[in-house]
Chains A and B, each alone.
Chain A
Amino acid sequence: MKKIRLTGLIACLLLVTLLSFLIGRYQNDNPFKLLSSNNLFRQLFLQLRIPRVLTALLIGSGLALAGLVTQIIFQNPLADGGLLGVSQAAGFGAALGILVFRGNSIWVQLFAFGFGVIALIISMLISGRIRGNKILSLILAGIAVSAIFSAGIGILKYLADPVDQLPAIVFWLLGSLAGSTWPVLIRTMIIILPLMIFFWFYRWRLNLHAMDKEIAFSLGLKNKFELWASLLASVLLTSSIISISGIVGWIGLIIPNYARMIAGSDTSNSIPVTLLLGAIFTMICDDLARALLPGEIPLGIFTAFLGALMFIGLLVNKEKIA
C-alpha cells in the first residue's frame, strides 16, 4: 500500500515535471522541435524553462516540508513555516534590497534571507523573556515580530519610487519564480538540499516533537539542542526559499495536511508524501502563472487561490485535520 502510493505520486511528479517543461507562452511551442529547432527556442528552454521548473519543484517541496516540521514542533496542524515572523521579515528585507540596491537580485536574496533569520532570533529572544509555555510564547512573539516587519514593509512601499521600485516590491511580495536561472537554482540548492537530507534521515524521530514535552523527554528527547536545531533548520529552509521566490503562501499550511490525509500522521510516512505533493502543487501553480496570460502572473496569487480552495475542502472534512 505504502509503496503503491509512493510510486503513484512519483509517477505523477514526473508527469507534471514533463508537462511543465512543455507548457509556456513561446509561439509554436513544440517540444519535438527541441533537437532541431532554432537557437532562440533552445536558449529559452535550456536557460529559462528548465531551471524555472526545477526551482518550482524544489521550493514547493521545501516550503511544504518546512510547514510540516513547524506543525509538528508547534503541535498545531494549522501552523506554517512563516510562523515566527520569518515571511514578513524576509519580505521587508527584500523590499529594502530593492530600494537600496535597485533590485540587484543577489542583494535582494541576501537581505530577505538575513532578515528572516533576524526575525527568528528576535522571536526567540522575546519568547525567552516570557514566562510559561515556551511554544506558545514563541508563537505570540512571532505574531508581534511579524506585525512589526509588515509595518516596515508599509513604510518602504510608501517611500519607494512608484514607477519602478513599488511594482517590483509588490511583485516580490506576491511571490514569483520569474527570476529563476541556473545560478539562482544552484544557490538555492546549496542551502535547501542539505536541510532536506537532514529531515529525510530525521523523519521518524521528528514524531517525538509532536508529543507533550514530558513524554518526549521520557522517550529520549532530552536535549533542548535537538528541538532548537530542528526549528532552526525549518526556519532556514523557509527563509532561504522566500529569499528567491518571494512570499509564496499556503503551501506550507495546506500540503502537509493533505499529506497526512493520504499517508497518515507518522512523519516517516508523511514526509515523503509532503515533499512530492508540495513539488507537484507548486509546479502546477507556476505553470498557470507562466502560461495563463501573455504576461506573468505572480505565483503567490495561484498558491493562495488554490490553497484557500483546498483549505475549504479540508475544513468541510474537518475530522480529517486533527
Chain B
Amino acid sequence: MNSSFIRFNNVSFSYFGRKEKVIKDFSFEIPTGSRTALLGLNGTGKTTLLMLLLGYIAPIKGTITISKYGQESPLTEMNGAVGYLSQNENIPFDYTVQEFIMLGRAPHILKFNIPSKNDIMLCQQIIESLDLKLLASSKLGEISGGELQRVRIARTLAQEPEIILMDEPMTHLDIKNKKYLNELITNLKETGKTIIYSTHDPLDVLNFSDSCIIMGRNNTYEAGETEIIIQSKTLSDFFEIPITVVNEKGNKSIIIH
C-alpha cells in the first residue's frame, strides 16, 4: 500500500461574495503516484477542486496537505511542483512549439535569467519523447487541436512537476489522440507522477484511473479506489440517470439506459 497521500481535511470553498459553497466539508485522500479521476456532471465543482489543488485559490475552511513518509506539510509549499493543464487556453501570441514548451521551465529559471543550455536540452528530450520533433519550429496557429494538446502537455512536463492536474484533457480529442493521452497518463504514472484529471465520461474513469472522486450536486461526493466506487448504483445516483456498469473478464463498459 502506498504511504504518500494528498489529504483533504474538511475542505470548504465558496467564491468571493457568495454564500453557497461549491465544495463543502470534503475529506479524502488521493494516493500519490496514482491516476486519479474527478468525475461529475457539469457545475459540480471539478475545476474548483483542481484550482484548490493548484493553490490558485485557498479553502475558506480546512486544509490540503501532502503527507510523505508520515510527514505532513501544506500542498502549497511545493514550489513549481504542481503542473496544470487547463481545458481551454487563450494563447494570444503565435509562439513556436519549441518556445512554448520552453515556458514550462519557468519555475526553474531565476526571474532575471533566460533558459540555460540544460533547459534547452531537457526541452529537446521532451519534444522527442512526445514525438513533436517535426513540429518543433511550427507556430502554434499552424498545428491541429490534438497536436496542440500534446504541446501543452509537453510544456507541463517541462515543469518537471510531481503532481499534474488536467482539466477535462480528453474533451475535444478524437479517439486516436484520446488513446495516446490515456497511454501517456499511464506512462507518467509509472514514472512516479501523480496525475489528477477531471472528466465527465465514466468509461475513461473505469479504464484509466486507479482512484476516483465522484462529485454530485449539493456538495455530495464519493472518493476511493475506482473499482470500488464505480458501481451501477453510485453512477446512477450521481448522474441522475439509470446507468449499468459491466465488468466481465476485464472487459469494462458502461451502459446508459
Contact = CB atoms under 8 A, between A and B. Distances in A.
Decide if A and B are genuine partners: yes
Interface of A: 72, 75-77, 131, 201-205, 207-208, 210-215, 217-222, 226, 260, 264-266, 268, 319, 322
Interface string B104-121: 101101011111000000
A260 B96 CA distance: 12
B156 to A, nearest CB: 8
B54 interface: yes
Contacts of A268: 114
A220 B92 contact: no
B99 A220 contact: no
Interface stretch (B76-84, B180-188, B204-212): B76-84
Most chain B C-beta atoms within 10 Å of own C-beta, residue among A77, A131, A213, A266: A266
Chain B's interface: helix, strand, loop or mixed, by majority? loop
B159 interface: yes
Most chain B C-beta atoms within 10 Å of own C-beta, residue among A207, A210, A215: A215
Given A205-B109, A218-B54, A218-B159, A210 B104 contact: no
19 contacts: A75-B92, A131-B17, A202-B112, A205-B113, A208-B103, A208-B106, A210-B93, A211-B89, A212-B89, A213-B56, A214-B54, A214-B56, A215-B86, A217-B54, A217-B55, A217-B56, A218-B84, A222-B55, A322-B93
Interface residues of B, number: 34
Given A207-B103, A208-B103, A265-B95, 4 more contacts: A205-B106, A220-B80, A322-B93, A322-B141
A205 B54 contact: no
Contacts of B159: 218-219
A134 B99 CA distance: 27
A84 B55 CA distance: 30
Contact of B93 (A212, A221, A265): A265
B94 interface: yes
A212 B99 contact: no
B95 A266 contact: yes
B22 interface: no
A130 to B, nearest CB: 13
A212 B85 CA distance: 11
Contacts of A213: 56
B114 A75 contact: no
A219 B91 CA distance: 15
B92 A204 contact: no
Most chain B C-beta atoms within 10 Å of own C-beta, residue among A205, A207, A214, A218: A218
Contact of A210 (B84, B92, B109): B92
CB-CB nearest 3 A-B residue pairs: A265-B93, A218-B84, A201-B112
B79 A220 contact: yes
B51 interface: yes
B108 to A, nearest CB: 9
B13 to A, nearest CB: 15
Contact of B96 (A131, A203, A221, A264): A264
Contacts of B104: 219
B52 to A, nearest CB: 12
Contact of A75 (B17, B84, B90, B111): B90
